[in-house]
Structure 1
Amino acid sequence: MTKSKFKNVSVKSTLLASALCLGVVAGATVPTLITGQPAANAEPVQVTAPAQPVDFSNVVKAVKPAVVSVQVKTEIEPQNIQNFSIPGFPEFKDLPKDHPFNRFFRRFGDEDEQGNEDKKRAVPHYAQAQGSGFFISEDGYVVTNHHVVDKGVEFVLVMDDGTKLDADLVGSDEKSDLALLKVKDPDRKFKYVKFADNLPAVGSWVLAVGNPFGLGGTVTAGIISADGRDISAKNYESFIQIDAAVNKGNSGGPTFNLNGEVIGINTAIYSPSGGNVGIAFAIPAGVAKDVINDLQHGGKVKRGWLGVHIQNVTEDIADSLGLADASGAMVTSTDETAPAFKAGVKVGDVILAVDGDEVKNTRELARHIGRADPESDVELTIWREDKEIKLTVHLGTYPEETASSAGGASPQQPAAPAELDEFGMNLQPGDEGLVITSVDPDGPAADKGLSRGDVIQSVGGKQVKSIDDVKNGVEAAKDNGRKTILMRIKTDAGIRFVGLPLKK
């Protein structure tokens, strides 16, 4: 019998071959067995964890005496009992003089029993509001929110040890929602805190201290969740977002870093229920320092003033102007008294930068100008007629009351409306341009929010007075390869620019 030539194969080799076969079948082989190349050893993210949980007690012990509860007494208008009514019951003024309810209503109303209005016994009515604040000086200056002290007539500060102190309002600024109080006739030195020079990075630990729901002296911890948040149309400053528990009554209280420095002033929460959901907003210390300094030295905040009405640049507007990006703030109106007008800024200009700092939208422009010193010079980078230009503007001081743009459409003229099928609307000549008399609800004009009564003042940067002016502007834009045409529109809400798409 012929002997097998495999007889001398070692058991070790046989087992190895079996292992390889089993490995391939089971899917347990490593890439080396398939490709013949060693596997790439990617390194996972590694973070060194703290040896023990963070202890905030030393920070709290140091800063808590500087934080106060703010109690505000506000006067409310007394209700006129003559306007009081009960469903199904006669009005007070219609009651006979001998009616038993007549004496009752007069007793609690504004007239005496003889009906003499010159003998009114108007008794003031008061309400109590509560918030938080903190000392920034040893002589008793306290920072809080404007909305905490708004309409207040008396102010009481309650310290961490329960001591109550009467205070005066030094100044308040609605735009930044900040206010400054001062202890009346201080007879002691107060422990105070300072503003941080820098904002900690997102993810850093912070502590919020305040007076939630009137409980006083409450400390919560969290992290900075985000920065640069825009949360209010009235306030053009950006905010710090934190996830430390903040509730009603925390307004005006400080948020600290772990060095005991104030990095923000708690001012708002996001809450569908009215309670904490882990999203709170604080005014950055950098903003607060400048505002509080102005309030402390004059009681009012001075801001730079450019004197323009502006709107954001949309994709359509950017395309119609030849801008690469939908960025900047577009000037919709100004007047001859404004610093911008005197420096040569024109309606339709797009402000791209201030002193070399990019301006992405209207809020950023407002921040740059508002933070600038009045009577100082700034350099504007402007997009005009397909190119960038530089203009130097000598800023004014932001007025307390600014006039809004005149609203309303111009009176319609007797000329018959003409149809502009390009955009789905009818136009009629008016004193300030072309009045829109009707809009096709399915047309481009309606899609961009134009409506009956709006006035088209310019097309493609040129003033229009007739339908032919509009048509000529449209043809010129098409000849230049534009996909959209820019129109200046006057509405009841003011003036804005709209980019309408052009038909091929």
Structure 2
Amino acid sequence: MKKIGSLLVLSLLSGTVTLGAYKLFLEPKSNTITTVAPTFSKNVSLGAENIDFTNAADMAVHSVVHVKNVTTQRVYRNPFEFFFGNGSGSQQQMQIGTGSGVIISEDGYIATNNHVIQNASELEVTLNNNKSYKAKLIGTDSKMDIALLKIDADEKLPYMVFGDSDGLRVGEWVLAVGNPYNLTSTVTAGIVSAKARDLSNEGLQSFIQTDAAVNPGNSGGALVNTRGELIGINTMISSPTGSYAGYSFAVPSNITRKIIEDLMQFGNVQRGILGVEGAELNSAAAEHYGVSETQGFYVNGITKNSGAEKAGIQEGDVIIKLDDKRVRGFSDLTSYINTKRPNEIVNVTVIRNENEKIIPVKLTKKELITYEVNGIEFEEITSSDKKEFGITFGVKIKDVTNSSVSDYADYLKGSIVLSVDNVKAKDIDTITKYLKEKGNQRSQYQLLTKNGTIERVIF
């Protein structure tokens, strides 16, 4: 009761502050505003959208849906049956997961998180008006945790317009809108705490961080600006307990929109790469590399056959800008490149020998790039590989130049790496990073061979 009482006090205080702000700044008075206005910058807007969230919330709630994910798994009666039985005594058990989604077109396309719909055998979407529809999965991008669904409704649906997440500013008010547990849409408010937050070891993700309350069930919901525009898809929280504890994170709308357009047009994500390796600069890194810049991306490696190599980017260059976007670190670089497609031109501004230089780079398709570590050349698996072998992940061995295993080169070439030392081969980035950090030590590879057998080899 004491906690509830505290919450009521906070709610009443919040309402009082909001009402007071309205009385002070918005309600017409004789000359009160005239005496206060000169203390504000000319760039500060006192419009209602900066204080009153009702219009933005009203626009958003009808476009946010509840997503139900039905999965089935086989349950065994005992461990011996799991390892040695034929499965005849096992049972199928149904599990139900829930999340949120955002309608992005009047004909029923819905954006949500990949983890909301993962492994689903059946998907159901419930609108804010309580109408329910079966949903079809159009495609997913597990790297950025985005999925695209489609429902066939008997009416034009309210949908949310994409805003420009690049134009979002730290300190700007935002709303988090979700539809958890099929309770119809719920709204919380907060500010943008940070941009370009990198929460993955692979440097592939660049999140908007907010202090708007997001709890389990809100995943896949909308992060909305005060104009009611979609500027992010809420995807995770930072919490030691599993419940909201101060920070939530959203995939920026510009990245989400590009992923969705790719899934609609191509059926998969067209991911272009710049082709550089390196480190984010700070004072210690600048001293280590012998450069004066403490912000930017220091290039210490160029990917073979990439756009960066062909355009003439060199080791020792410091990337400070992509087109007109400032690059302060790796997440700035990846967030911008993730909005681009293969063969697009990006103007890369670098510092070389204390001089600025602008280098146009044509982005390379990620699947065309190979990576070599310790005499083993890797490439991404193709859609046909996935279909042929019935897999969803893996990295293919393209070539072998390591003399210690040259006798087995023909056997290894074309095999698909499923894991290295029990590190799952989700993609080339994961495996090459692990192998580079390990150095020249021998590793155990789990391979799916060309004839379809799974074997473990050490080299």
Q: TM-score, normalised by structure 2?
A: 0.63
Distance in 1 separating the partners of 2:235 and 2:310: 38
For the 8 Å contact 1:355–1:380, the answer to whether it is kept is yes
Distance in 1 separating the partners of 2:153 and 2:185: 25
Q: Report deviation, 1:368.
A: 3.2
Alignment of 1:5-154 (within 5 A): 56-57=53-54, 59-76=56-73, 78=74, 84=79, 92=80, 111=85, 117=86, 120=88, 123-154=91-122
For the 8 Å contact 2:69–2:123, the answer to whether it is kept is yes
Alignment of 1:179-198 (within 5 A): 179-183=147-151, 185-197=152-164
Indicate the residue corresponding to 2:187 in structure 1.
220
The RMSD of aligned alpha carbons is 3.9
3-state SS in 2 of match to 1:152: coil
For the 8 Å contact 2:346–2:363, the answer to whether it is kept is yes
Indicate the residue corresponding to 2:262 in structure 1.
294
Structure 2 counterpart of 1:178, from 146, 156, 159? 146
Give the partner amino acid of 1:66.
S
Distance in 2 separating the partners of 1:341 and 1:333: 10
Q: Against the structure 1 CA distance between its residues 210 and 235, is the aligned structure 2 distance closer, same or farther, given a 3 Å change threshold?
A: farther
Q: Against the structure 1 CA distance between its residues 147 and 318, is the aligned structure 2 distance closer, same or farther, given a 3 Å change threshold?
A: same
Q: Report deviation, 1:151.
A: 2.4
Structure 2 counterpart of 1:277, from 245, 248, 263? 245
Partner deviation per Cα, 1:360-379 (whole Å, 9 max, x = no partner): 22222223333233112333
Q: Report deviation, 1:54.
A: 6.1
Distance in 2 separating the partners of 1:208 and 1:321: 42
Q: Report deviation, 1:167.
A: 0.6
3-state SS in 2 of match to 1:283: strand
Partner deviation per Cα, 1:174-229 (whole Å, 9 max, x = no partner): 2322211001x4333222221224656544443322133x1522423323242314
Alignment of 1:176-325 (within 5 A): 176-183=144-151, 185-197=152-164, 199=167, 201-212=169-180, 214-233=181-200, 234=202, 236-319=204-287, 322-325=290-293
Partner deviation per Cα, 1:339-386 (whole Å, 9 max, x = no partner): 222333344443343336443222222233332331123333444566
Partner deviation per Cα, 1:220-254 (whole Å, 9 max, x = no partner): 33232423141412464433333332100101111
Identify the structure with the greater helix proportion. Answer: 2
3-state SS in 1 of match to 2:102: strand
Q: Report deviation, 1:336.
A: 3.3
Partner deviation per Cα, 1:253-306 (whole Å, 9 max, x = no partner): 113334332232211212222222332222232332222222222232223212
Q: Report deviation, 1:337.
A: 2.6
For the 8 Å contact 2:302–2:308, the answer to whether it is kept is yes
Indicate the residue corresponding to 1:12 in structure 2.
none
Q: Against the structure 1 CA distance between its residues 379 and 195, is the aligned structure 2 distance closer, same or farther, given a 3 Å change threshold?
A: closer
Distance in 1 separating the partners of 2:347 and 2:55: 47
For the 8 Å contact 1:62–1:260, the answer to whether it is kept is yes
Q: Report deviation, 1:143.
A: 1.0
Q: Report deviation, 1:55.
A: 5.8
For the 8 Å contact 1:80–1:110, the answer to whether it is kept is no
Give the partner amino acid of 1:64.
V
Distance in 2 separating the partners of 1:203 and 1:359: 20
Q: Against the structure 1 CA distance between its residues 139 and 276, is the aligned structure 2 distance closer, same or farther, given a 3 Å change threshold?
A: same
Indicate the residue corresponding to 2:322 in structure 1.
354
Q: Against the structure 1 CA distance between its residues 131 and 342, is the aligned structure 2 distance closer, same or farther, given a 3 Å change threshold?
A: same
For the 8 Å contact 1:407–1:493, the answer to whether it is kept is no
3-state SS in 1 of match to 2:157: coil
Q: Against the structure 1 CA distance between its residues 223 and 324, is the aligned structure 2 distance closer, same or farther, given a 3 Å change threshold?
A: same
Structure 2 counterpart of 1:372, from 304, 315, 340? 340
3-state SS in 1 of match to 2:367: coil
Identity over aligned residues, as a percent? 35
Structure 1's consecutive aligned runs of 4 or more residues displaced over 6 angstroms after TM superposition are: 43-51
Give the partner amino acid of 1:274.
G
Distance in 1 separating the partners of 2:221 and 2:295: 36
For the 8 Å contact 2:75–2:90, the answer to whether it is kept is no
Q: Does 1:340 align with 2:308?
A: yes
Indicate the residue corresponding to 2:15 in structure 1.
none
Distance in 2 separating the partners of 1:280 and 1:407: 42
Q: Does 1:492 align with 2:437?
A: yes
Which 10-residue stretch deviates more, 310-319 or 284-293?
310-319
For the 8 Å contact 1:334–1:341, the answer to whether it is kept is yes
3-state SS in 2 of match to 1:272: coil
Give the partner amino acid of 1:278.
G
Q: Against the structure 1 CA distance between its residues 142 and 49, is the aligned structure 2 distance closer, same or farther, given a 3 Å change threshold?
A: closer
Residue ranges of structure 1 left out of the alignment (5+ in a row):
1-42, 85-91, 93-105, 112-116, 409-430, 433-489, 496-504
For the 8 Å contact 2:170–2:195, the answer to whether it is kept is no
3-state SS in 2 of match to 1:323: coil
Q: Against the structure 1 CA distance between its residues 494 and 218, is the aligned structure 2 distance closer, same or farther, given a 3 Å change threshold?
A: farther
